[in-house]
């Protein structure tokens, strides 16, 4: 299983527009991706393609999250998702 950490850059955290952009990107992948707050057990990770899961995660600006995926292309997919999370999407 591949794993990446990301620091949330959007000023409002993973809410509203940034969450929607992230979920749309996850939905385009042929992989199951999970997300959790750093330090939480992998078993508590949530489905990263679910807007409800992302919103309930409560990740704020500066929080660290952990993304996990398994399968062919997981490394590249996680790298692209980290770039999204580490971009202030509210500023664009």
Q: Helices 16-27 and 74-85 meet at what angle, rounded to 10? A: 170
User: Does the active-site annotation cover 15?
Assistant: yes
Residue 67: helix, strand or coil by DSSP?
strand
Ranges of H-type helices in the chain: 16-27, 51-57, 74-85
**Pick the catalytic residue: 8, 15, 34, 45?**
15
List active site positions: 15
């Amino acid at each position: 299983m591949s794993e990446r950490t990301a620091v949330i850059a959007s000023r409002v955290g993973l809410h509203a527009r940034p969450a929607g952009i992230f979920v749309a990107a996850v939905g385009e992948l042929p992989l199951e991706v999970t997300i959790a707050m750093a330090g939480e057990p992998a078993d508590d990770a949530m489905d990263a393609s679910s807007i409800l899961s992302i919103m309930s995660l409560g990740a704020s600006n500066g929080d660290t999250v952990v993304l996990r995926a398994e399968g062919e292309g997981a490394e590249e997919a996680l790298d692209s998702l980290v770039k999204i999370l580490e971009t202030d999407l509210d500023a664009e």
